[in-house]
Structure 1
């Protein structure tokens, strides 16, 4: 018992530690998790999941994969799907059979696998792994259409890959047992249809019961988790791995029933997904053994190259032939196809079953599946940014600002930020209020930012910072509270007393964003100063002209608002936090008009070398 607890703790530390290192360095998190698990398992022998958990390891991984697929399905809204339905259907209806065929040929002729093993393995290879694709897309600012196509393909293809493996296995099992092979496919098709209906019925039950108060708020997450696991287990009893299809259908159906009471569990489900992805990757990579790796042959290396440079490109390019998707996006999709947990988990399951049928070298599936996962994750994880730039499918690389509320002050701020190449979007529910922003050529969105439709109609990916600056400070706090779980509590700001204020009469910190100014300027404060002629000034720091010089050169009443790093990263001056300015940073301040003579005196005093201050 104590050893199991120690292993669970180590898995958590390694998994979340790898995620943290990935966040700090920008390296692919999956690569770091695989490396951590491999070091802790086969290399150092600290973790042996098979010995620690025994027969429980397989169902643990299975349930984890089911929850990950459900969480992925829950993020897929048909309103987004309608935009890209043509490409997604091509990648599923044409791409899955083509990928299965090409993968089978490569496995048999290039890798030298037995025909049953090659066909079964190729069926599983049609998956592209949402557990890998979605983290990669989060790390890389890819344009909306190719990112959406990759995400939808990854989620939809996962259960189809499992079903393809089931069909192949049942076919060869029928041959080995001299059963009627013509009965196999109809049985599996019926089982898949029944499983899909069960998944939809479970989603319908949740969508009906939650808004009507049949489940209290504190039990909604536990009930949902139990419902997902129960659906997965029941459908797996009907047919092996049909549970993956059921939970995917359940997630997608629930996402499109628009149950408002589910919005509160979104942060929790995302945390669950991160924990599960981290834990499962560590466990599976720690389960590798050197005996399996020793059987790796040169032909397997050639097979991996064939998979990367022939099978995937041919599958995608043929599937998307004569479509309206531009060639640069097709080539990008043809390259990016990392595999993940589902591939390894299903291969491990069927390798044992093929061995029981007497199929030779079936145990190679486990080592080969890990080789595919590692190769594709490294190849695609480290090149996605490079390929996206070369093919011009890279989105905004500099962090942007989403400004809620169109006022003279926010328009002036938007103008200044746009002049510095920082992406800006001004959102307001009033078309008339947006008139000034439109006249200044600023990007605008007309709609209620808190409405669910905004999440699907407005691509929020380029905007890493939110500023709520409407004329209603309570509404600003509401906007910050809504977006804090998604953007980050340290990335949502508002005018007035923010979350970092110690004013006992202000709203509770949990309901507010951070204050935009250290002085706590509110809506009326900035509006009044705007009418008095206050402006946003830009000051570029250097080795000889630091932030103290900049302060001396500004009017005494000026308030520093933010720093813009050379990378585009934004850091704000607040009551609780003061960023450290460095040479090359740009300081944005909100400043009153100043007399020329005073300005010249201050400049001469703070700059005795004669260098001209870079302030505008």
Structure 2
């Protein structure tokens, strides 16, 4: 069965997805887990060798996967995201890339022992980071908006230019060695411009067709998927490596057309990209040999890797970001994070063969050199991005924050209760006036429509992983939940119960998980606040159990949520079906009379205690 090609394809996909799940479950860098999984089933155990199994289709499959991943990443490059720091992006992707190219070339020449010609070519390739590695790390690290956006833009924009820069360097090397004429350089620039133009025109035409309704909803994603592949194949056939430039240009054009159907396309492409990134990393690492891995341990290669990580990258970022307004902490973080990934691995193989065939010495070690840099940066940056972001104060938050939509009095009280457990809380409402009570309680507020594009680009929602839709409009709550399901996951999205007087039935398929008990809709909860109901915290102990709490509290107490010893929050939907460990706190909404009874009981207990 292991020899079956069909089984090996399924195994690669399954192992990649499993690696992603393990990384999510144990909060480890996904890239690291995928790489280790590929090494274990490939060169270490010898169970799979995808390159040998798939033969001639191996490289084309990898190339198509990279094209889709790069297009999906470029779909998120909306210029409105960087309107406050465009200079930093421009400088890093131009001057920074140039410095990294030159410094990286000299590092390969002096430390790795490559000839100057070969080093000049490979130095251009090593400026890439790419969405295949940087996007999973950003999802894991939860950095603040500005450093995360800069790293994302750099990774996606520089990716195709790195491959083209290496190709340009290759043409220059051939020209200086009189292997080609000067006209070849002019042809190179012309074909590069043509590829970018083809991608841009294809993106604009496709965007117009989508926006004007010429493509039905059920065909939008398949047609976009097909056009991306066709644009990549056509342009890459014209000149090798220009396909990446074409699909990037196509994605950026479509991202800035502000298409109404763009969000659905992004979600579809994100799902495809996660699958492809997982599978491709497994395929690449499983195809390595023990000899290639042993070659990485060469001391000259290790010196080169250290120079790239600790000299070339920081130098290029620090110089290029002078006067851009970035803080010292941001420049330090960005100057450290530069993991290499799929593009570096796949393109290096092409140049290794091309340089070897042209007779340049040392080209045979390019693959091992690339592997050394990829593994070192993936491991080092994967395990340190979160830690360094925290140390530099650039991590959005360690705690899972709560985004509450609706400025009602109950929501303000609920937000204050959550905030008391050191949870980030943001209260949003379309009306500034509705947020006045929340502001009095010291809760962070934002006036605006959570569904508007203005909110998406002007309010940093990164720290808030749990959404509570609790406006007085049940249909609006359901719409909010449906909008954020792809980003937050249904397990992190809640809404208040449907009003008893609402004849419509909003099923869980289009809404969030219902909070509290069905009879406590937002209107009822607000009436309780108006009557003077207050928040009460009750600690469950060995002596005072959950059963005691249930016996002591009747209809005048509404359990809201629990907080364990580590302050992990769990909302209560049916208190009769939960079990709590000692040390857990129950937070409930209690009538003022109940609160007074507890206060009097406590006072009586104090008075009845014997005096010394």
TM-score, normalising length: structure 1? 0.92
Q: Which residue is equivalent to 2:589?
A: 590
Using the TM superposition, give the Cα deviation of residue 491 of structure 1 relative to its aligned residue in structure 2, in angstroms. Answer: 1.1
Trace 1:32-181 onto structure 2 (pairs within 5 A).
32-175=33-176, 178-180=179-181
Are 2:100 and 2:312, in contact at CA under 8 Å, matched by a contact in 1? yes
Q: Which residue is equivalent to 2:267?
A: 267
Q: Which residue is equivalent to 1:187?
A: 187
Are 2:75 and 2:266, in contact at CA under 8 Å, matched by a contact in 1? no
Structure 2 SS opposite 1:383: helix
Q: Which residue is equivalent to 1:386?
A: 387
Are 1:563 and 1:579, in contact at CA under 8 Å, matched by a contact in 2? no
Alpha-carbon deviations, 1:146-198, whole Å to 9, x = none? 11111111111101101111112222334556322x33443222222211111
Are 2:207 and 2:254, in contact at CA under 8 Å, matched by a contact in 1? yes
Cα distance change, pair 33–546 in 1 and its aligned pair in 2 (3 A): farther
Are 1:404 and 1:428, in contact at CA under 8 Å, matched by a contact in 2? yes
Using the TM superposition, give the Cα deviation of residue 17 of structure 1 relative to its aligned residue in structure 2, in angstroms. Answer: 0.6
Trace 1:213-612 onto structure 2 (pairs within 5 A).
213-296=213-296, 297-497=298-498, 506-541=505-540, 545-552=544-551, 554-574=553-573, 581-595=580-594, 598-599=597-598
Q: Return the alpha-carbon distance in structure 2 between the equivalents of residues 550 and 115 of structure 1.
A: 77
Gaps of 5+ in 1: 605-609, 611-616
Q: Return the alpha-carbon distance in structure 2 between the equivalents of residues 48 and 579 of structure 1.
A: 49
Are 1:398 and 1:569, in contact at CA under 8 Å, matched by a contact in 2? no
Are 2:559 and 2:575, in contact at CA under 8 Å, matched by a contact in 1? no
Using the TM superposition, give the Cα deviation of residue 75 of structure 1 relative to its aligned residue in structure 2, in angstroms. Answer: 1.1
Q: Return the alpha-carbon distance in structure 2 between the equivalents of residues 135 and 576 of structure 1.
A: 38
Q: Return the alpha-carbon distance in structure 2 between the equivalents of residues 598 and 203 of structure 1.
A: 68
Alpha-carbon deviations, 1:33-61, whole Å to 9, x = none? 00000111111111111121101011111
Using the TM superposition, give the Cα deviation of residue 597 of structure 1 relative to its aligned residue in structure 2, in angstroms. Answer: 7.4
Select between 588-597 and 390-399 the one with higher mean Cα deviation.
Answer: 588-597
Using the TM superposition, give the Cα deviation of residue 31 of structure 1 relative to its aligned residue in structure 2, in angstroms. Answer: 0.4
Structure 2 SS opposite 1:509: coil
Q: Return the alpha-carbon distance in structure 1 between the equivalents of residues 42 and 334 of structure 2.
A: 34
Cα distance change, pair 350–576 in 1 and its aligned pair in 2 (3 A): farther
Alpha-carbon deviations, 1:42-83, whole Å to 9, x = none? 111111111211010111111101111111111111101212
Q: Which residue is equivalent to 1:6?
A: 7
Q: Return the alpha-carbon distance in structure 1 between the equivalents of residues 381 and 15 of structure 2.
A: 23
Q: Return the alpha-carbon distance in structure 1 between the equivalents of residues 252 and 580 of structure 2.
A: 46
Using the TM superposition, give the Cα deviation of residue 277 of structure 1 relative to its aligned residue in structure 2, in angstroms. Answer: 0.5
Using the TM superposition, give the Cα deviation of residue 587 of structure 1 relative to its aligned residue in structure 2, in angstroms. Answer: 2.9
Alpha-carbon deviations, 1:595-615, whole Å to 9, x = none? 4675379989xxxxx9xxxxx
Structure 2 SS opposite 1:471: coil
Root-mean-square deviation over aligned CA pairs = 2.6
Alpha-carbon deviations, 1:451-497, whole Å to 9, x = none? 12221111111111111111111111111111112111111111114
Select between 307-316 and 513-522 the one with higher mean Cα deviation.
Answer: 513-522
Q: Which residue is equivalent to 1:614?
A: none
Gaps of 5+ in 2: 604-608
Cα distance change, pair 329–596 in 1 and its aligned pair in 2 (3 A): closer
Are 2:497 and 2:517, in contact at CA under 8 Å, matched by a contact in 1? no
Q: Report how many aligned residue pairs link the two structures.
A: 603
Q: Return the alpha-carbon distance in structure 2 between the equivalents of residues 7 and 576 of structure 1.
A: 48
Are 2:474 and 2:498, in contact at CA under 8 Å, matched by a contact in 1? no
Alpha-carbon deviations, 1:296-320, whole Å to 9, x = none? 3111011111111111111111111
TM-score, normalising length: structure 2? 0.93
Q: Which residue is equivalent to 1:613?
A: none
Structure 2 SS opposite 1:363: helix
Using the TM superposition, give the Cα deviation of residue 524 of structure 1 relative to its aligned residue in structure 2, in angstroms. Answer: 1.7
Q: Return the alpha-carbon distance in structure 2 between the equivalents of residues 575 and 115 of structure 1.
A: 71
